[in-house]
Structure 1
Amino acid sequence: MLLFAQALKSSLRQSCLFPQVECGMVATELASSHGPATAAVAAHLPLAVAPPSVHRAQGWPRIPARLMCEGKTFTKDDVFTNIPTFTELEELVEKAAVPEDILLAWVEHRGNSNQAAYVLMKWTLLVLKTKGKLKDLRVDPRIHDLLDTVSQQVSSVWNSNLVSCLQALWMMGIPATDSTLTSVQTEVLWRVRRLTYKQLSYLADWGAYRKGKQDEAIVNAAIKQLELRWTEIADAKTVCALIARGPRMPSSLMDRLEDKALELAEGFSAQDIRKVCVSLATQSRRSVPLLRALSYHLLQKPPYEFTTPLIMDMAFAYGKLNFNHTQVFQRMASELLPRVPELITADVMRFSKSLAFLKWLNIPLFEAFAEHYTANSREYTILQLCNLLMAFARLNFQPSKEEVFFNKVHSALEESLSSLEPFLQTDVVWALCVLQQSKPHYLIPLTQESHVKKLSEGSAIRVENYLLKLFHIAATLHLEHPGCSDSDTGSSLPDPPVQANISPMQRILRDTLQSLVGERTNAIRTGVNTVYGWTVDGELTVDSDNKPVDLSSARGDEALPVGVRRVAFLALEFPNFCAKSKDLLGRFVMRKRHLQLAGYIIVEVPYYEWLELKTDWQKLSYLKDKMGKAVAEDMAK
């Protein structure tokens, strides 16, 4: 035991790893854990390592026992003793009103490399604030002196100043070959693990679109560190800045940033919410929980924060992500309605288009849009007018002063319609068909073979969609302008596309219609693709007593025997309606009109009625009742 004590004594003398108190704790633990013999060894330890209970130097103050487990109470003097004070140079830089004042202060007082980095950053910001040109001013010899000073001792520059200095060099457009830029870049890469998450986010944000090899290395290193340390992020501004740079971020980091945004959503300003939502929209990241949280907090903002740019961008984001939030839409509409007369034409077009994507119709607001066009028609470009018409058509909105509105529309289209790009021309004419504002000379050129060929380019889905629109345009010409169509009109069109997929509601409806006719299966046809480009879920021919008649071989455009009527059953599902409404979208209103003109008696089966029917018997009774009422209304006309 004596040999062990001597060896321990010798090793502790040579060690410099433990301070006196810590070594005393080691000796105490040895004494308590090894009994009296070890306690005796502790008693012979030298002053440097013996615990206070064993040996205390004369004049040492007694340390309370609780100091080992309780935190130290710091006085005001303790806290602020080591904080550096501003030098005269830094005070002058802070007070500078123009960039020249900063350079004069540097020449007069000069400083070390850390101060040079600070001065360079402040000078750059002040040049931008006063709308100066950095590239022209960087040739000043005083700027070169600043750069040289930074480069000489870059390792002594504080982290915050180093990151800001790199930003300043980026903004100044310093060439990649410049020695100062190279040394700063190298130092930033060397220190990247020691930077705070805010400094890392600044690098990722500022350098997002830098093309230099070293710049990309810095950004990638910063993003990697953020991915490892994402839990440290604790403020909304950083989250917003990083989400805005989403295309450069790994998908895993974006998922975590969305979680952070959800956690910090309460602290977001209206502009933060706008920034995050627009970023999510441009990246097509539809995070429903985050969008709901941001929408809730947006509703709590005061009216003055609902600026027109914010409303426009939020409508774009919601439309792009197909996210509906009625309360937010109502708030935006109420805030925007009084400002409509002062809006520029682009804003009217943007907002109406976004609401059309969302299938949300606010009649007072759209009336204001129509009046805005009527009053400012000369300021609208043809593209803005086209988008406005397509928005109106999608929602089947008819202005109350439609004659005045459409007179101006036709006046503008007469001059420009034929010169439009083929796809846009088709969209606009199709929209006029929905709004019942088409004219034969709009329609006939689009049914010609030369126009059909122009629409055959692109993806298969796009070609099919535009082919259907051409069928609808040809149907409008044939059914709504019968005296203006000739025998060749529409002959260049191929057969209508066949509906490939059917919904569960359509499938159940078609099965129920088969049960409706019983054994007379030839009296009913389901999934009928008409020559007008519309699909009918069920086509049934009935006599004057509403009894099914076997005419399964008769086509939809053929004449029927006297007293026989053709009934079309149409499933109207949730996506066929405007949001929070029982009003059909324009496309489905036009379908009903075309089929009625083609001789069908229409039986509409809306989803909100069909879903209430639980048994097959209820569904059969419902269809019989609906058909009887439809036939009775037709006979009463």
Structure 2
Amino acid sequence: MASRLLFRYARLLSRASSQASHASARLLPPVTGSAELQRAKGWPWVPDRLMCETKPKEDVPIAIPPRTKLDTLVENAATPEDVLSAWKQHPGNSNQAAIALVAWIQLTMKTKGKSDQHVPELMKDPRLQNMMNTLSKGVSWAWNNSLVSVLKSLWLINVPSTDLVLSAVLNELLWRSRRLTYRQLCYVADWGAHRKGQQDVVLVNAVVKQLELRWTEITDARTVSALMSKADRMTPVLMERLEDKALELAEGFTGEEIRKVCVSLATQRRRSVPLLRALSYHLLQKPSSEFTTPLMIDIAFAYASLNFHNTLVFQRMASELLPRLPELSPEDIVRFAKSLGFLKWLHMRLFEGFAEHYTANSQKYEPLQVCNLLRTFARLGFYPSKEEEFYSKAHLMLEESFSGLDPFLQTDVVWSLCVLQQAKPHYLVALLQPNHVSKLSSKTRSVGSPSQAVSYKWKLLQIAATLRLEHPGSSDTSLSVPSVSAWSNSAKVSAMKNSLRDALQSFVGGKSEAVRTAVVTVYGWTIDGEMVVDCDNKPVDLSMLKAPHLMSRGGGDEALPAGARRLAFVAWEFANFGSKSKDLLGCFTMMKRHLQLAGFIVVEVPFYEWLDLKTDWQKSAYLKDKIGKAVAEEMAK
């Protein structure tokens, strides 16, 4: 109803306006002015076109200046001298000066190379000085595109911030920042991201602010990837909006743009799971030609940094990388292997290829690269099929460079060799000497964190356990072990471990003398529960039995009864396994091996079985069944 009334009212106003205009045309000029004044007071002006009509407004043509001889000569110039000669013969306005200056810089860089050592001498040419003076004096009349191009060119040749032309261009673009197109703003933000000059920083900050306000104007994936790759200069608010825009435009990203966005997210520690999933999906649709080696290495690095798992992407990268392994450099091999190690993803064929690459090109590997490769193999628990050939070359390199390694790296490498069962006794003895222990402790206090200090202390205990259990009689460790045995475990206990420990107490009917929980051992491992069972698998009192494995030297003086067995209950959580696998990671296989060598029967409780148990009765029945199976397997051996 209201729309109808508005329509009729508009039509009446249109007619009244039309009649008034015809009447005024018949009046004399003085009267005409009076009539116009009265109409303006009584009636608002309404156009002849009705409000319901949707006729588009005609575009006003843009006045383009005529093309001159200077424009033609600059466009066809082949050398910097051609540009300067054209300017001397046909000097132009400030906009033409900007275009000519850009052309001169581009041709100079093309002929003289990207080095800017010749540029200061060349810029003393009077013709060039005249061109730059024309631009600086009339900078307000130059077009936006020309100014943006001039800024880029001056930045490329590292013109000092005190230069009058650069200063004038920066000031003018700062004033025009609201009138620049979004693409021009992106160019300035991209090129000036790492500039340190005061005016440069002011301009880039103003441009970033405009980008933040006008982010909805982005329509292409290239702009998003370019901006996100300069994330260190973007505000957190703008990064969030760019992530939203990237999610919207993810389908149009090329492989290289996906790489830029993923690396940017990794460097900023921005774990945007929806965006990573979208990028992963569209990456899988790309042809093999876009799966370049740098792309795959950077994607693996980004996913490892963000702890983002996508098995399909890993499998695709492994299949693309396998045929290229002989062509890869040691740096590429180590970087890719290290990223997969952090992701806990083991591809047997690919890692066999890594080992073969090292065996065939060991002379090209640096000691640090070999150390990182060994650490990755130990983390995943990977054992090369040609172990003897691989480790013979690795040991040869370590013998030559071991003494020059950092104490942290020495400890990591030897601990990794312990996991892989390749540690030689002299490595272990060297790391358990008091001087190395004190050196490691002092360096941890100065440059490390408390958690790192605890981690290295426990690694030393596990190295000592390897020497004692796997190389008995090779050295007297009584002097070195007490120096580290006083350290305590400060790790937080998970819900699953607490649940298992409570279930063990319930299993023995609450008798504290029949079970120990959270047992800290001298071997550097903490077991969730300890129990001694007789020949009928019934718990016995262990408070009076000898316990040489206890850190606190607790226990009694009695020997283990005949037929009795000592059990160690270990909860294997999700983090103890490889990605999409039920295989334990390397350090946990070493833990199991050490406990078995110390005389325990290891009762393994994996998370995928324990979490299905809901009631106390189910947990007790499960523990009873696991004890029976573990004892039976030990007897079968």
TM-score by length of 1: 0.88
Is the 1:127–1:134 contact (alpha carbons within 8 Å) kept by the matching residues of 2? Answer: no
Which string of whole-angstrom CA distances, capped at 9 and with x for unpartnered residues, describes residues 404-449 of structure 1? 0001111111111122110000000011000000011001111122
Q: Kindly state the Cα deviation for residue 108 of structure 1 after the two structures are TM-superposed.
A: 3.9
The residue that corresponds to 1:60 in the other structure is none
Q: Kindly state the Cα deviation for residue 345 of structure 1 after the two structures are TM-superposed.
A: 0.7
Q: Kindly state the Cα deviation for residue 243 of structure 1 after the two structures are TM-superposed.
A: 1.1
Query: Does the alignment pair 1:188 with 2:178?
Result: no
SS of 1:323's equivalent? coil
Which string of whole-angstrom CA distances, capped at 9 and with x for unpartnered residues, describes residues 481-503 of structure 1? 11112032322214243244211
Query: Does the alignment pair 1:611 with 2:592?
Result: no
Deviates more, 1:130-139 or 1:585-594: 130-139
Which string of whole-angstrom CA distances, capped at 9 and with x for unpartnered residues, describes residues 206-263 of structure 1? 1112221111111111111111111112221221121112121111111111111111
Matched to 1:111, the amino acid is G
Pick one of 528, 538, 552 that aligns with 1:547: 538
Deviates more, 1:78-87 or 1:521-530: 78-87
Paired with 1:30 and 1:570, the residues of 2 have a C-alpha distance of 85
The residue that corresponds to 1:495 in the other structure is 486
Paired with 1:365 and 1:101, the residues of 2 have a C-alpha distance of 57
Deviates more, 1:362-371 or 1:543-552: 543-552
The residue that corresponds to 1:468 in the other structure is 458
The residue that corresponds to 2:549 in the other structure is 557
Paired with 2:386 and 2:325, the residues of 1 have a C-alpha distance of 17
SS of 1:116's equivalent? helix
The residue that corresponds to 1:269 in the other structure is 254
Paired with 1:100 and 1:359, the residues of 2 have a C-alpha distance of 60
- Cα RMSD (Å) of the superposition? 2.7
**How has the CA–CA distance of structure 1 residues 194 and 300 changed in structure 2, closer, same or farther, with 3 Å as cutoff?**
same
Pick one of 315, 331, 334 that aligns with 2:316: 331
Paired with 2:490 and 2:10, the residues of 1 have a C-alpha distance of 86
Q: Kindly state the Cα deviation for residue 71 of structure 1 after the two structures are TM-superposed.
A: 3.1
**How has the CA–CA distance of structure 1 residues 69 and 295 changed in structure 2, closer, same or farther, with 3 Å as cutoff?**
same
Q: Kindly state the Cα deviation for residue 134 of structure 1 after the two structures are TM-superposed.
A: 3.4
The residue that corresponds to 1:139 in the other structure is 121
Structure 2, unpaired ranges of 5+: 1-7, 27-31, 40-46, 551-558
Q: Kindly state the Cα deviation for residue 35 of structure 1 after the two structures are TM-superposed.
A: 11
Aligned residues: 597
SS of 2:314's equivalent? helix
SS of 2:250's equivalent? helix
Paired with 2:208 and 2:560, the residues of 1 have a C-alpha distance of 72
Q: Kindly state the Cα deviation for residue 565 of structure 1 after the two structures are TM-superposed.
A: 1.1
Which string of whole-angstrom CA distances, capped at 9 and with x for unpartnered residues, describes residues 571-625 of structure 1? 1111111101111110111110011111110011111122222332222211111
Paired with 1:616 and 1:89, the residues of 2 have a C-alpha distance of 92
TM-score by length of 2: 0.88
Q: Percent identity?
A: 60
Q: Kindly state the Cα deviation for residue 102 of structure 1 after the two structures are TM-superposed.
A: 3.5
The residue that corresponds to 2:500 in the other structure is 509
Query: Does the alignment pair 1:32 with 2:12?
Result: yes
Paired with 1:39 and 1:268, the residues of 2 have a C-alpha distance of 56
**How has the CA–CA distance of structure 1 residues 185 and 433 changed in structure 2, closer, same or farther, with 3 Å as cutoff?**
same
Pick one of 388, 405, 410 that aligns with 1:425: 410
The residue that corresponds to 1:69 in the other structure is 53
**How has the CA–CA distance of structure 1 residues 40 and 151 changed in structure 2, closer, same or farther, with 3 Å as cutoff?**
closer
Matched to 1:523, the amino acid is A
Paired with 1:501 and 1:585, the residues of 2 have a C-alpha distance of 20
Pick one of 244, 251, 275 that aligns with 1:290: 275
SS of 1:567's equivalent? strand
Q: Kindly state the Cα deviation for residue 535 of structure 1 after the two structures are TM-superposed.
A: 0.8
Q: Kindly state the Cα deviation for residue 100 of structure 1 after the two structures are TM-superposed.
A: 4.0
Structure 1, unpaired ranges of 5+: 1-27, 55-62
Which string of whole-angstrom CA distances, capped at 9 and with x for unpartnered residues, describes residues 165-209 of structure 1? 112222222222222122111111111111111111222121112
The residue that corresponds to 2:207 in the other structure is 222
Which string of whole-angstrom CA distances, capped at 9 and with x for unpartnered residues, describes residues 282-313 of structure 1? 11111111111111111111100101111111
Pick one of 87, 93, 99 that aligns with 1:118: 99
Deviates more, 1:331-340 or 1:180-189: 180-189
Pick one of 409, 415, 435 that aligns with 1:450: 435
Is the 1:496–1:529 contact (alpha carbons within 8 Å) kept by the matching residues of 2? Answer: no
SS of 1:134's equivalent? coil
**How has the CA–CA distance of structure 1 residues 33 and 556 changed in structure 2, closer, same or farther, with 3 Å as cutoff?**
farther
Paired with 1:178 and 1:530, the residues of 2 have a C-alpha distance of 70
Q: Kindly state the Cα deviation for residue 513 of structure 1 after the two structures are TM-superposed.
A: 1.0
Q: Kindly state the Cα deviation for residue 381 of structure 1 after the two structures are TM-superposed.
A: 0.3
SS of 1:110's equivalent? coil
**How has the CA–CA distance of structure 1 residues 519 and 102 changed in structure 2, closer, same or farther, with 3 Å as cutoff?**
same
Deviates more, 1:328-337 or 1:496-505: 496-505
The residue that corresponds to 1:531 in the other structure is 522
Paired with 2:395 and 2:414, the residues of 1 have a C-alpha distance of 11
Is the 2:269–2:305 contact (alpha carbons within 8 Å) kept by the matching residues of 1? Answer: yes
The residue that corresponds to 1:5 in the other structure is none
Matched to 2:547, the amino acid is R
Is the 1:127–1:133 contact (alpha carbons within 8 Å) kept by the matching residues of 2? Answer: no
